[in-house]
Amino acid sequence: LPNNVVVFLKQSSLFSQFFFSCNNMRWAKCDGDPCQCSLTFTPAIKQVIDCTKLIPKCYLMNAEMFRIRNKLTSRSIGGKPVETAFVDSDGIYDPECENDGRFKAIQCNGTDVCWCVNSAGVRRSDKGDKNIKCEPVETYWVRLELKHKDVAVPLDAT
């Protein structure tokens, strides 16, 4: 390409969106020059994220709730839960997050009914009103089970 075309491309937002997309997070959008990945929580609130690092669960839940409210595809990250998983009658809620992406200890889901959650966003108390007292409780142990998909040809271990 001629130099003047390359300079034009580098200065355009199309260049940033094409070459600096948020590949690791499908729901994130690349905005600005230089590109910054962000998740949309409301039309007015976007959270800047680093797509090269793990994204806090609280931010992911906020982004998912925005997508559900706006009838956009959801759960493209993680799939459906296993049938034996415990399902809370609350389902997914729109959480309040601290500035660093941690869950606030008290969650109210936009109503006067509130409850306490641990650092993973899991309810740990009965529901109460907005005066409920919640102390931060850190979740330290998380058990993960990772499985490979079945493959037609075994992996060559060499």
Average pLDDT, integer, range 64-71: 87
Domain ranges for the chain: 1-77, 84-141
> What's the pLDDT score for residue 75?
60
Most confident of 15-24, 78-87, 117-126: 117-126
Angle at 60 between CA 55 and CA 65, to 5 degrees: 170
CB count in 10 Å sphere of residue 95: 19
> What's the pLDDT score for residue 15?
43
User: Considering the chain, what percentage of its residues have pLDDT values greater than 90?
Assistant: 22
Average pLDDT, integer, range 93-97: 90
- The SS3 assignment for 123 reads strand
Positive or negative, the Cα torsion across 54, 59, 62, 66?
Answer: negative
Angle at 95 between CA 93 and CA 97, to 5 degrees: 165
> What's the pLDDT score for residue 17?
41
Average pLDDT, integer, range 94-111: 91
Which one, of 20, 84, 96, 116, lies nearest residue 56 by Cα?
96
Q: Any alpha helices (H) in 31-121, and if so which ranges?
A: 57-69
**pLDDT tens readout for residues 25-48:** 778 888 877 788 899 898 888 999
* CATH superfamily name and code, 84-141: Thyroglobulin type-1 (4.10.800.10)
Residue with tokens 């990772």: 146
List 37's β-bridge partners, or say none.
30, 49
